[in-house]
Amino acid sequence: MVFSMQRVQPVRRALGVGLLAAALGMAGLAQAQSGTPIRILVGFPAGAGTDAIARTLGEKLKDELGAPVVVENRAGAGGQIAAQVLKSSPADGHTLFLTHDHTISILPQVVKNPGFNPATDFVPVAGFATFANVLAVSGGTPAKSIDEYVKWVRTQKGGKETIGIPAPASIPEFLVKMISDKYKIDVQPAPYRGSAPMTADMLGNQITAGIASVPDFIENHKAGKLRIVASIGAKRQALLPNVPTFTELGFTNLEDLPYYLLPTTASSRPWARPSRSSTSTARRCRRCWPCPT
């Protein structure tokens, strides 16, 4: 099945506008009480890229607000579990959800009943930090390029193999299907509960390839433990100048700009009274991860 990223662009554009407005000062939380703990939900396991960003943000918010900030990992179902926890949280503005476009933009389009509606259940506090997805191969294959990987799958694996992905119904899963179609090989997605356990299996040669974000793979790529062989994007990544894009490799209709965002419960209103936690969060997000223009 060939999947075109253009199908999700209208939703992303609409969300992006709202999130940018939030990052520029829109307040959507009830008045925060001094010293009340702030909870940041993460839909993936500790050690993954999303978790690292949440913990960095939590430390900065703790210093600015003078209140405890707790990062709570509710991994599973591509972020659906954490999103459902946010939906059922008290509407007091003290529960936030550090997530990315997979949970908010994609799951509601491909999962019949994800248990939440991002348009009505959540309100954005800040949108920040775009990233790129990449394909990496492990030490279980000698391949140093996607063509060499495909050749290895054909000659050593009978044309059949699995590629790890951090979550089902995700851009990495769609990309696996596109790789299968383009190269006429039978590669199937192997969903994990986040990029951390997937990367661990790649390092242990339990799987020979995986797709995740640059931050998930870059350190092991630099150390020679994994090899990033292709990236999504209009141009090559600054950290990976020698790694071609999928577009360079002949993939068409492959356009994606994932992003991180930070919503809270939609009933945490009114707009007219900015909360200390919401304005501090948006300010910190702008300082650490400026929104692209």
Instruction: Look at residue 259 and give its three-state secondary structure.
Output: strand
Q: Could you tell me if residue 80 is left (phi over 0), alpha (psi between -120 and 50 degrees) or otherwise beta?
A: alpha
Largest pairwise CA distance in the chain: 64
With bands split at pLDDT 50, 70 and 90, how would you rate the model's confidence at 278?
Answer: low
The span from the CA of 113 to the CA of 116, in Å, is 8
Mean per-residue pLDDT over the chain, rounded: 82
- Count of domains in the chain? 2
With bands split at pLDDT 50, 70 and 90, how would you rate the model's confidence at 259?
Answer: confident
The answer to whether position 26 is within a domain reads yes
Contacts 24+ apart (CB under 8 A), 181-185: 181/1, 181/2, 182/250, 182/251, 183/150, 185/150, 185/153, 185/154, 185/159, 185/160, 185/161
Q: What is the pTM of this model?
A: 0.71
The answer to whether position 123 is within a domain reads yes
- Choice between 127 and 186, residue whose per-residue pLDDT is larger: 186
Tokens of 281: 């969060």
Residues 104 and 186 in one domain: no
Residues 37 and 143 in one domain: no
| CATH number of the CATH domain containing 110 | 3.40.190.150
Q: What is the DSSP string of 28-61?
A: -SPPPPTTPPEEEEESS-TTSHHHHHHHHHHHHH
Residues 148 and 113 in one domain: no
First to last CA, the chain: 33
- Choice between 257 and 274, residue whose per-residue pLDDT is larger: 257
Chosen domain end from 192, 213, 231: 231
Chosen domain end from 231, 252, 270: 231
Most confident of 6-10, 15-19, 130-134, 176-180: 176-180
Tokens of 284: 């910190």
Dihedrals phi, psi of 126, to nearest 5 degrees: -160, 150
Residues 73 and 60 in one domain: yes
The answer to whether position 59 is within a domain reads yes
| CATH number of the CATH domain containing 189 | 3.40.190.10
- pLDDT for the residue 41: 97
* Three-class HEC string of 124-168: EEEEEEECCEEEEECCCCCCCCHHHHHHHHHHHCCCEEEEEECCC
- pLDDT for the residue 215: 87
What pLDDT, in 10s, does the model give residues 209-235? 999 999 899 999 999 999 999 999 889
With bands split at pLDDT 50, 70 and 90, how would you rate the model's confidence at 6?
Answer: very low
The answer to whether position 238 is within a domain reads no
The answer to whether position 246 is within a domain reads no
- pLDDT for the residue 161: 97
- pLDDT for the residue 292: 38
Instruction: Look at residue 122 and give its three-state secondary structure.
Output: strand
- Choice between 15 and 132, residue whose per-residue pLDDT is larger: 132
What pLDDT, in 10s, does the model give residues 139-163? 889 999 999 999 999 999 999 999 9
What pLDDT, in 10s, does the model give residues 80-123? 999 999 999 998 888 999 998 889 988 898 888 999 999 999 98
The answer to whether position 11 is within a domain reads yes
Residues 176 and 225 in one domain: yes
- pLDDT for the residue 270: 45
Residues 47 and 149 in one domain: no
The answer to whether position 52 is within a domain reads yes
Distances in whole angstroms, Cα of residue 119 to Cα of each of 83, 99, 106, 223, 267? 13, 15, 13, 42, 12
The span from the CA of 27 to the CA of 31, in Å, is 10
The span from the CA of 224 to the CA of 58, in Å, is 31
The span from the CA of 110 to the CA of 101, in Å, is 13
The answer to whether position 90 is within a domain reads yes
The parent domain of residue 150 ranges over 133-231
